Amino acid sequence: MVAFASSARARAATSEVTSPSAIGGFVRISPEGGISLVMPSVEMGQGIYTAEAALLAEELDVRLDQIVAFAAPPDGSLYAQPLFKAQMTGGSTSIRGFWTPLRQAGAAARSMLVAAAAQAWGVHPNECSTKDGTILHSSTGRVLKYEEVAESAATLPMPEDPKLKSREEFRIIGKSQRRIDTSAKVNGSAVYGIDVMVDGMKTAAVAISPVDGGRLKSVDDNRARKIPGVIDVLRIDDAVAVVGEHYWVARAGVEALDIDWELGPNTKLTTASIRAEAVKAADEGTPIKALERGDVETSFKNATKRVTAEYELPFLAHATMEPINTTVHVRPNGCDIWVGTQTPVVAQKHAARITGLPVDKVALHNHLIGGGFGRRLQADTIEQAVHFAKQVPYPLKIIWTREQDIRHDRFRPCYLDRIAAGLDEQGRPLVWTHRTISGTVRRYFAEDGWPEGKLDKDAVDGAWDSPYAFPAIRVDWVRHDPPVKLNWWRGVGPTHNVFVVESFLDELAHTAGQDPIAYRRALLDANPRAMAVLDKVADAAGWHKSLEPRSGRGVSLHQNFGSYAALVIEVAVAISGEISLNKIVAAVDCGIQINPDTIRAQIEGGVLFGLSAALFNGITFDEGRVEQGNFNDYRQLRINETPPIEVHLLESNESPGGLGEVGTVSAAPALGNAIFAATGVRIRRLPIDRSLLSKRENA
Amino acid sequence: MISLNINGRDYSVQAPDDMPLLWVLRDLLNLKGTKFGCGIAQCGACTVHVDGRPVRSCMLPAANVGPREVTTIEAIGQKDSGRRIQQAWLELEVVQCGYCQSGQIMAAAALIERNPAPDDAEIDAAMAGNICRCATYARIRAAIKSASRK
């Protein structure tokens, strides 16, 4: 196999294919005709393999049905996401970051293949053209396939600045493409991390300290070891693993353990205690300023009316369908890890530290992910698996139960928000202030934690950069780290802040006695893209059409991840308080579209993902323990609760925006605003408390 | 020894009496298409057919299956209903992460097997036990209708 290394920085080509880390680059062509494209971002359902392959294939001039895609090995020098400068998939960055580099990589490889063919024919490259993996010399009718010149092409210099196609020349980008990852997902042949089989592999189930921060005191494993099929019992600081011939016997072994935990400092933790601490921080803590524009204090003095509100959002678990699992084989001279991770380089680094091996002796084989949503951005679960696996000579697969997956998740933070506005006599906002009280997620991603006094922009994203022009605005953050480990969750900062901003803006519209869309439009004169999606959604949703009693429409608007989205949700609220979703309409401007059908799918699924959390989900604590554990008490939206969804995409010439999280951000505020329209009850706390809605008939 | 008929083949496995069919399929027979999601029959990721009916294999002890015929995602495409569902799934691009889709497809194939033209309410009733965290539900509904028209 010949490899074209063509990174974002147009590395020189190499034909050394001795190990995955030595390959580098995005395009590989075997003499047998296989064209492989290396995917820098991990496929977790968002359709990124198809989109990134489309960028490469467009410029390489091959069809998507001619290529296979595979996960990039950990190599930050080649596969770092340009927006993170790290090899990570998240934050709706993939297409924003790789839009130009991957097209350049495809174009560079194509140009080298053409040059090699031209050399073989003794003609000028300009006389050659390409199509579907072949090079043509039209005046003589000669044709060469890519694989026939791949080996010599790989020895040629890589062009520094290959010419890219204009938008009019695109044959793949912008047209809905069949996804390249799905045919194996409908017949059971797709291999996720949990499906990995390695020769000699054993399977473990674990018991983990029920309170985070607890430690293993002692374990009596006599009964477990007597179970036929149980092979080993392994201990680490805060967990015990029972290794079995298969998962079920390992589980039986865990249930037979008699464990004494030292539960540690968090046994008194309750949701009420966490909330009380947050309120204290809100009252006494020092805010860190994110944005101040205009004269906030004077504007409040000049205002006719001051409106204030407090919003609260809960901890959330990711609850991906594929429970946490990792397969590890530690040997004296090397380590292999088979897993689906959003952060392969970090996982590799931790494994090297834990095993004492050099990083280049840790091979990480990344897999399709059965749902990420941010959970697999942290490698804590992989660390645990390596700690266990280094105690045994055989490959070890560890699978968590669903209950462990939820209870030992690293959670979306809980938030407390205090927000205020001063209105003029027409009800227009003169001034807007928004204070968030929360922990910092970034401390889990920075090498040395997060310094006191430094803004974690994630805490204010979606608040300081809302679509609206307020004459005066102040956005700040009080850092208050709860004794609960945190993580990013689909939609990151904006999922929280846009709920607060869009709900409160709805409150202001109501206070001013104005239509919520008209009220928003008056603040969007300088923001035509936001105005356009808002107008489109109003029109498509029939915003002004009348509805039955206790039915209502709510709207939300936001600009995040380089995209613009407006959403209208129509609900009916029963006297009992039960909420029915009747219809969902979205309008999105995400700049240039790569694969429109997948864009629609991401909005559809993203909105429902956000609604599921707003309707049902909140992680709570008692005696330091997470109270939820499975889909019976951490329930999810189901098909019978799903209304029809329309997604309207606006044409645009702007650079592509992110999409994986856009719909999720839109969801909760549109729902809360619809419930207000239906019942007159303002939703300021999630998940939605149905008892608030049952009391107020004809409110 | 437990005797099982899976996808038309007879198997004998050595397994504890309480071992669910899910783990026999996955760990003893290497049929990994059937997925572990919750372990308490709440999500449907482990759905297989037993004598044509959709069953949650995570809570069904393999020892209780007896002579009944088990069909898994690996073989459902050999049935007309399964083939039509799989094709509709691809044509309508239902799948995102795909982890729950084996179970969704097994539930959907069983539905159109007994009800060739289900309406929305019938689809919802038959599919409500299958969770999809990517929330591909609207397309699942459309794909079942598309498959049932063929």
pLDDT digits (tens, 9 = 90+) for A272-292: 999 999 999 999 999 999 999
Give the chain B residue whose CA is nearest to the CA of A325: B36
Give the chain A residue whose CA is nearest to the CA of B109: A186
**CA–CA separation, A134 and A148 (whole Å):** 9
**Per-residue pLDDT at A695:** 65
Contact B72/A44, CB-based, under 8 Å?
A: no
> A155 or A582, which is more confident?
A582
Give the chain B residue whose CA is nearest to the CA of A661: B134
CATH code for the part of the protein at A193-264+324-399: 3.30.365.10
**CA–CA separation, A374 and A491 (whole Å):** 9
Give the number of other Cβ atoms within 10 Å of residue B12's Cβ: 8
**How large is the ipTM?**
0.98
**Per-residue pLDDT at A19:** 23
Distances (CA, A) of A247 to A136, A201, A336: 55, 11, 20
User: Which part of chain A has CATH 3.30.365.10?
Assistant: 2-185, 193-264+324-399, 272-315+411-694
**CA–CA separation, A253 and A242 (whole Å):** 6
- Alpha-helical segments (H) within B92-133: 101-114, 120-127
Give the domains, in start order, of chain B with CATH numbers.
2-72 (3.10.20.30), 76-149 (1.10.150.120)
**Angle A217-A218-A221 from CA coordinates, rounded to 5°:** 155
Give the chain A residue whose CA is nearest to the CA of B124: A640
Contact B27/A246, CB-based, under 8 Å?
A: yes
Query: Which tens digit of pLDDT belongs to each residue from A170-199?
Result: 999 999 999 999 999 999 999 999 999 999
Give the number of other Cβ atoms within 10 Å of residue A522's Cβ: 17
**Per-residue pLDDT at A34:** 84
Report the residue of A46, A183, A185, A231 to disrupt the B interface, i.e. the one with the largest count of B CBs within 10 Å: A185
Chain B closest CA to A404's CA: distance in Å? 10
Interface A-B: count of C-beta contacts within 8 A = 173
Contact B27/A185, CB-based, under 8 Å?
A: no
Query: Which tens digit of pLDDT belongs to each residue from A37-51?
Result: 999 999 999 999 999
**Contact list, A45 vs chain B (CB under 8 Å):** 95-98, 134
Instruction: Tell me whether strands B69-71 and B2-6 are parallel, antiparallel or unpaired.
Output: parallel
**Contact list, A250 vs chain B (CB under 8 Å):** none
Q: Is the pLDDT of residue A591 over 80?
A: yes
Q: Is the pLDDT of residue A315 over 70?
A: yes
Chain A, 178 to 237: residues with Cβ < 8 Å from chain B are 178-179, 181-183, 185-192, 194-195, 197, 203, 229
CATH code for the part of the protein at A272-315+411-694: 3.30.365.10
Mean pLDDT (chain A) is 94
A2-185 placed in CATH 1.10.357.10? no
Report the residue of A187, A195, A407 to disrupt the B interface, i.e. the one with the largest count of B CBs within 10 Å: A187
Place of tokens 């974690």: A456
**Contact list, A639 vs chain B (CB under 8 Å):** 123-124, 127-128, 130, 132, 137, 140-141
Query: Which tens digit of pLDDT belongs to each residue from B41-95?
Result: 999 999 999 999 999 999 999 999 999 999 999 999 999 999 999 999 999 999 9
List the structure tokens of A297: 């204090």
Query: Which tens digit of pLDDT belongs to each residue from B100-144?
Result: 999 999 999 999 999 999 999 999 999 999 999 999 999 999 999
Contact A637/B134, CB-based, under 8 Å?
A: no
Query: Which tens digit of pLDDT belongs to each residue from A72-109?
Result: 999 999 999 999 999 999 999 999 999 999 999 999 99
**Per-residue pLDDT at A17:** 34
**Angle B55-B57-B62 from CA coordinates, rounded to 5°:** 115
**CA–CA separation, B2 and A681 (whole Å):** 58
Give how far the C-alpha of residue A131 lies from the chain's centroid of Cα atoms, to the nearest Å.
35
When pLDDT is cut at 50, 70 and 90, the band that residue A446 belongs to is confident
Burial of B115 (0-12, 13-18, 19+ CB in 10 A): middle
Q: Tell me if chain A has a CB within 8 Å of the CB of B63.
A: no
Cβ atoms of A619 and A568 within 8 Å: the answer is no
Give the chain B residue whose CA is nearest to the CA of A184: B98
Instruction: Tell me whether strands B2-6 and B9-13 are parallel, antiparallel or unpaired.
Output: antiparallel
A186, A368, A609 ranked by CB distance to B135: nearest: A609
Q: For chain B, give the longest Cα–Cα distance.
A: 44
Element (H, E) at A692: helix A690-694
Chain A closest CA to B113's CA: distance in Å? 18
**Contact list, A407 vs chain B (CB under 8 Å):** none
Give the number of other Cβ atoms within 10 Å of residue A306's Cβ: 12
The predicted model gives B28-45 an average pLDDT of 98
Query: Which tens digit of pLDDT belongs to each residue from A683-698?
Result: 999 999 999 999 654 4
DSSP state of A619: B
Which residue, among B1, B30, B28, has the nearest Cα to B14 in the 3D structure? B1
